[in-house]
Every structure is written in C-alpha cells, then in structure tokens.
Amino acid sequence: MNNRIYLDHAATTDMLPEVAYAMEPYYVKKYGNASATYELGAEAKRAIELAREVISASIHAKPNEIFFTSGGSEADNWAVKGMAGEQKMLGKHVVTSQIEHHAILHSCEHLEKLGYRVSYLDVNRDGIVKVEDLERLIQEGERSSRVQDKISLISIMYGNNEIGTLQPVEMIGALARKHHIAFHTDAVQAVGQVPLSVKRLPVDMLSSSAHKFHGPKGVGFLYVREGVKLPSFIHGGGQESGKRAGTENVAGIVGMAKALSIATKEMEKRSKEITGMRNYFVKRVMQEIPEVRLNGHSKKRLPGNANFSFYGVSGTALLVLLEEEGIFASAGSACSAGSTSLSHVIKAIEVPKEYAYGTIRFTLGRDNTREELDKTISVLKKSVKILRQEE
C-alpha cells in the first residue's frame, strides 16, 4: 500500500537506511564471533565495545553500566526478577504501578507465586502514580519486622506505552535513594524520544529497546548503575561481563548504537516538530468530533502520543475502517493487541465504559506530515459517524 499513513510508532518504527547500512557488514563480511581470539572475532568485539560507548554516552552513563539484551521485555524481566532475588534477605516487597507494561506486570505476578508481596500503585485520572501512596508503603515497611513488608525494589515506567503519560521518575528515584531501595524504570518508550541522563536521574536500572527509535528489532539494553549487584539472568558463557550469556547480536548492537546516536543528535528538533504536530492533531480531533476524551496528561506526555476514547463506538471496528483507508493505528499496546479485553491502563484511569471500548492510540513519528494528519482526521470523523449510526 503506497499511500499508507503509519501512526503506530509506539509499537515499532521503521529502520533508518543509515542503520541498515551500518549493520550490513556484520552479517556478510565482519561476521566473526566476538568471543573468538583471532582478528575476525576481535573486529566484532571492537564493534560491540564502540557501540557500548556510544549508547552509554547518549544517557550519560559509563560503558561498563550498559548490558545488551534481546529487547525491552528481557531487560525488564532481568531487572525485576534479578533484583528481587538479590535483595530477598533484606525485603520481599516489590512496588510497581497498575499501568506498567506486561513485561513488568507478569514478572511481578511470577514473584507473587514465589511468595513475594507486590503492591500496585494507583494512578490518577491522568495516569500519574500517587507518590504519597509509595511514601506510605515505605514507612509501613520500615516500621514492620516482616520481610514481606520491607520494600526491596520499586519499578515505575518513565513514559506509558498506551496513554503517553510521563511519570515523576526523579521524585520517585529520590525517595527510593533516600530509603536505600533499588529503583528500576522501564524507559522503552522514552529513550531516543526525550532527554535522559542517569547522572541527573536517580535510577539504579533502566530498560530500553532499539526498535522504538528506528533501530533493529530483537536488541535492547539494560543500564545498571555501577555498584548495583544484579545477578546473571542467562547462564552459559562469559559474555556481557559474565552477566548475560550467549553469542552477541553484533549487527543488532551496532544498529542500535547508530540509531540512538542519530536520535540523540536530532532529539531537540524532532521532539519539537512531533509535539507540534501532535498538539495540532489533538486540538482538531477534540474540536471536530463530539463526545471524545483525550487519555493521559495533556502536557506531561511522550511527544508523539495521542490516545482517544470515542463514545459509543468499537475501537476494533474503528481500526478496521481506518485501515481500509490506509491508516494504521492501534487499540493500545501492541503486545496485547490480540486481546479483546479492556486495556488495564484504560481501566486504571477510570475511563467510563461507554467511552473505554472506543479507545484508539495514535503515535506520530519523524516522517509524518500535517497532510497525513488532515486525512486521518477526515477519515476519523467519517468513520466515527458511521459507527455511531449503526448503534
């Protein structure tokens, strides 16, 4: 479909030509195993370490604080399960939020089966966690003598993948650090989109995934602050300082570094452009379509995210009508797009039922144009009208 309009960049992004070009030699000519001692292997090893330097510089970390993974889900699982296991003698209470990605929520459910206590913080109508509830849990844990009450890990995402709301991560991190509690943030939607500095951000661990910023699929990284003890997640060889076994995805790592380098250099300009287009899109939708809600905070949100709930329509049916016109959006997280149940995020922010099932997420990217948004608005108005008439 040549005239397609892609508005689902939170699900994945297209790989930049420069990224593919940087990766290609490591599939064809520079194909050595980075663990080999001869020159072909050493060449691959040098490429990995250079990528580590580029990636660490982009978030103001040290190279030895970056560990490569297969993506954001692995990084999230490693951070939550690994740190919970490492800290279990100090506390078996993990705190997260109701609106986390399923990689976090399902990891926490796994811990609950192992006897851990997990608290899921409420969020307000904008999808922002209630820090006062976190403070209360910390104080209760400090007063208690039970290991299940003492908090050993807090995991709160940086920006929500469905409604785009940015969390008060600095405030939460400062609170965690004050009470000597490990703090992880799932920054999969934020890295490459908004400025991030682990020198300023009081986090112990941070997850990222390359395909969210025009890099390849199947590769990501976990930042682990120097001095934080995180056990190995995959056992085998001595790759990644003995922390994550397995032959390295050299081409993917090189591509991720190239993509993040470009995203970092262009961030200020791109963010301003995308935010401007998003605001234009949101304003027109809210003004021109009756009975519609914008989900998430109006300003404290990821640059390209616009999540709407339309009264009295089926989001699934609306997506079908949009796709017939070559417009691609989603009903929420791509990781749960096949589910017919209501999004846990939309439930958590208490969207009324008559609106909730008509929820659509649009996420803009670097190549979207105002003309594309104008067409999308036109099709959206027509489609909502059709579906409401069918009720």
Catalytic residue numbers, as ranges: 335
Do residues 381 and 339 make contact, with C-beta atoms less than 8 angstroms apart?
Answer: no
Strands (E), the chain: 5-6, 66-69, 93-97, 117-121, 151-155, 182-186, 205-209, 220-224, 292-295, 305-310, 327-328, 359-363
CB 222 within 8 A of CB 75: yes
- For residue 199, what is the DSSP state? T
DSSP assignment letter at 101:
-
* Cβ–Cβ < 8 Å for 338, 323: no
Half-sphere exposure of 182 (CA within 13 A, CB side): 27
Q: DSSP string of 257-286?
A: HHHHHHHHHHHHHHHHHHHHHHHHHHHHHH
Provide the residue type at 25 as one letter.
Answer: P
Radius of gyration for the alpha carbons in the chain, expressed in angstroms and rounded: 22
How distant, in Å, are the alpha carbons of 159, 206, 260, 272, 381 from that of 220? 17, 11, 11, 25, 38
- DSSP state at residue 63: G
Residue 95 contacts residue 153 (beta carbons within 8 Å): yes
Give residues with Cβ within 8 angstroms of 53, minimum separation 6. 63
Which residues are within 8 A (CB) of 56 and not within 5 positions of it... i.e. 6 or more apart? Answer: 62, 63, 65, 66
CB atoms within 10 A of CB 56: 19
Nearest CA-CA partner of 187 in 365, 58, 7:
58
